[in-house]
Amino acid sequence: MRVLRRALGTLLVLGAVSCTAAQTGDARAGDDPPAALTPFERLLPAPLSVRAGGPGYSFGPGTVIRTGPGAGPEVRRVGELLAGQLRGPDGPALPVVAGVRGDGIRLRVDGAEDGLGDEGYRLVSAPGGIDIVARTPAGLFRGGQTLRQLLPVSGPGTVPGGTVTDRPRFAYRGAMVDIARHFFTVEQVKRYVDQLVPYKVNTLHVHLTDDQGWRLAIDSWPRLAQYGGAGEVGGGPGGHWTKEEYRELVAYAGERYVDVVPEIDMPGHTNAALASYAELNCDGKAPPRYTGVKVGFSSLCVAKERTYAFVDEVLGELAELTPGRHLHIGGDEAHATPAADYAAFMDRAQQVVGRYGKTVMAWHQLAGARPAPGAVLQYWGHDRTSAADRAEVVAAAKAGHPLILSPADRVYLDMKYEAATGPGLSWAGYVPVARSYSWDPGAYLAGVPESAVLGVEAPLWTENVATRAEWELMAFPRVLGLAELGWSPAAALDWTAYSRRLAAQGPRMEAQGIGFHRSPDVPWTR
């Protein structure tokens, strides 16, 4: 911390960035909007601090990415990934070479850079090259994303001179996708990972099971995926992921420093499981599969021992597939489970998670039962959530449960922007881009100190989102705002300034082929 504070003393803190496009010498400014922000000003999420000035670095045909000193294979891999991201169609080859002496992009891990934390970095751009220094390879990767944004949309060109010193405000910056209501493939979800990493999102939560579908193969209960996965909302064929596919997603995300949090929603939202195995039902009869959009009608049979064998075996296989810390066990909208049964069930399910060496994550309804020590609660309330429900969550946070904030009327990506939005729902109200961005996670729940907030997450529920195009329309651009709320310092959060940064991302999202919502509250320039 001391190092960072000392460094900050010499830097202009965010908001004071004052270079002009002319000073930055952005050689190909033409492919960013006219009267555009300077490259430093358009960074999204806004960094902790920037000191712009001095001549910058121009990529040339011979530019290389250098790693070292003593960089292991992980730093090299970060270099290769970054080269792949930076290389435009006609850009330089950007080979990755060992040793940081010489011109080029120099990636260096320095364990003594305590002030940069687990994901922070410092990027210095000057005529001799660009230095990215971090305490961890993850920090180098995040710094590499900043470098991408400092370049013109078309790829390697000139990076203006200056220093960015940056680290996230919150440790957890997530996006969730529901592949249960409508099925999506691993390839489609990987594409989402690619679309999120430029904005420094570090967690992908996958809602794997619900009433309408069970989407992950479980060896000890094969009918869950085979039968329970063969359907979806509206009667489509559905589908499921094999373990191999799931591992592939986890590895792909992991290489980009995105942690995958799997969710098995219990004891409600379980019709697909109940339909697959009669023995999981209290009356021993399997219900039909479900293709509607109601919630809150299904429950595992809390009184049956067989239910706990199911929980144990499913979570055991899931833990084995999960390198990350968290297993999400749902716990929301268990309207068909009496309160005492709910608490009893969640006690046992949480014990199972603990036995497999993982940390419980659950929707905030767990606060009304008995959250296990350390359990992370995901708050999805909204401005009309009752004072009593809110008080339960506040009390849990005060008792030491870290919170993930996903307020439904701010960051539920399935909420329509406005009445005319085609896909999506509106039970939490319409959520225009400005509303989605305009709240402060550190001060959102009265009585919850910022230190109790582990981070933020934007869920995309898919009852009424059936295609990848609809998914992109709902997620973009709102998910960028969530990324900024999770990363940027509180002092940087300002809608007017943000809306200009967001507008500058328009051509970048276009270049990535993202079909985003051209919301009228953003000053898009083209």
How many beta carbons lie within 10 A of that of residue 243, not counting itself?
16
* DSSP secondary structure string for all residues of 117-176: TTT-EEEEEETTEEEEEESSHHHHHHHHHHHHHHS-TTSSSEE-SEEEEE--S-SEEEEE
Q: How far is the CB of 411 from ligand TNX (least distance, A)?
A: 11
Residue numbers 148-177 binding ligand TNX by CB under 6 A: none
Which token pair is 155?
A: 């790829």
Three-state SS string across 217-285, please? CCCCCCHHHHCCCCCCHHHCCCCCECHHHHHHHHHHHHHCCCEEEEEEEECCCCHHHHHHCHHHCCCCC
Choose, by CB under 6 A, the member of 41, 119, 463, 484 that binds ligand TNX.
463
Q: Which is nearer to ligand TNX, 221 or 363 (CB)?
A: 363
Given a contact cutoff of 8 angstroms between Cβ atoms, the answer to whether 349 and 329 are in contact is yes
Binding ligand TNX (rule: CB under 6 A), the pick from 380, 437, 444, 476 is: 380
Neighbours of 63 (CB within 10 A): 21
The end-to-end CA distance of the chain, in Å, is 42
Please state the closest distance from residue 216 (CB atom) to ligand TNX, in A.
18
Q: Interaction with ligand TNX in 219-238: which residues (CB under 6 A)? A: none
Closest approach of ligand TNX to the CB of residue 362, in Å: 9
What minimum distance in Å lies between the beta carbon of 179 and ligand TNX? 12
Nearer to ligand TNX by Cβ, of 144 and 424: the residue is 424
Q: Are 410 and 430 in contact (CB under 8 A)?
A: no
* 122 phi, psi to nearest 5 deg: -125, 130
Instruction: Give the residue with the Cβ less far from ligand TNX, 32 or 211.
Output: 211
Out of 332, 392, 409, 457, the residue judged to bind ligand TNX by CB under 6 A: 332
The answer to whether residue 363 forms part of the interface with ligand TNX (CB under 6 A) is: yes
Alpha-carbon distance of 161 to 282, in angstroms, equals 68
Residue 319 amino acid letter: A
For ligand TNX, which is the closer residue by CB, 123 or 376? 376
Q: Which is nearer to ligand TNX, 88 or 429 (CB)?
A: 429
Tell me if 295 contacts ligand TNX by CB under 6 A.
Answer: yes
Q: Based on CB atoms, which residue is closest to ligand TNX, 158 or 337?
A: 337
Contact 106, 131 (CB under 8 A): yes
353: left (phi over 0), alpha (psi -120 to 50) or beta: alpha
**CA distance linking residue 396 with residue 403, whole number of Å:** 9
Tokens of 370: 């008995």
Please choose, from the candidates 362, 230, 182, 210, the residue with its C-alpha nearest in 3D space to the C-alpha of residue 271: 210
Q: Are 243 and 194 in contact (CB under 8 A)?
A: no
Choosing from 119, 255, 333, 470, the catalytic residue is 333
Residue 336 lies near ligand TNX (rule: CB under 6 A): no
In angstroms, rounded to a whole number, what is the distance separating the alpha carbons of residues 350 and 248? 27
Question: If DSSP codes are grouped into helix, strand and coil, which group holds residue 255?
Answer: helix
Residue 156 Cβ vs ligand TNX, minimum distance, rounded to whole Å = 42
Q: Contacting ligand TNX (CB under 6 A), which of 192, 345, 444, 461?
A: 461
> Which of residues 31, 248, 312, 333 is near ligand TNX by CB under 6 A?
333
105 to 74, 297, 403: CA distances (angstroms) = 16, 56, 38
Look up residue 253 and give its amino acid.
Answer: A
| Cβ closest to ligand TNX, residue 294 vs residue 355 | 294
Q: Which is nearer to ligand TNX, 19 or 177 (CB)?
A: 177
Pairing of strands 121-126, 104-109: unpaired
What single DSSP character describes residue 368? G
# residues near ligand TNX by CB under 6 A: 10
Choice between 296 and 316, CB closer to ligand TNX:
296
Of the candidates 444, 417, 439, 441, the residue with the CA atom closest to the CA atom of residue 428: 417
Instruction: Provide, rounded to whole angstroms, the least separation between the CB of residue 99 and ligand TNX.
Output: 50
Strand ranges, E, within 179-325: 203-207, 209-210, 213-214, 259-266
141 CB-side CA count, 13 A: 25
Residue closer to ligand TNX, measured from CB, 173 or 364: 364
Q: Provide the minimum distance between the beta carbon of 364 and ligand TNX in the complex, in angstroms, as a whole number.
A: 8
Q: Is 317 an active-site residue?
A: no
Q: What SS3 state is found at 216?
A: strand
The torsion angles phi and psi of 243, rounded to 5 degrees, stand at -60, -35
* 102 CB-contact burial (10 Å; exposed 0-12 / middle 13-18 / buried 19+): exposed
Q: Report the nearest approach of ligand TNX to the CB of residue 412 (Å).
A: 5
Nearest-approach distance from CB 313 to ligand TNX, in angstroms: 24
Q: Find the shortest distance in angstroms from Cβ 370 to ligand TNX.
A: 19
List residues with catalytic annotation. 333
Positions that interact with ligand TNX (CB under 6 A): 295, 332-333, 363, 380, 412, 414, 425, 461, 463
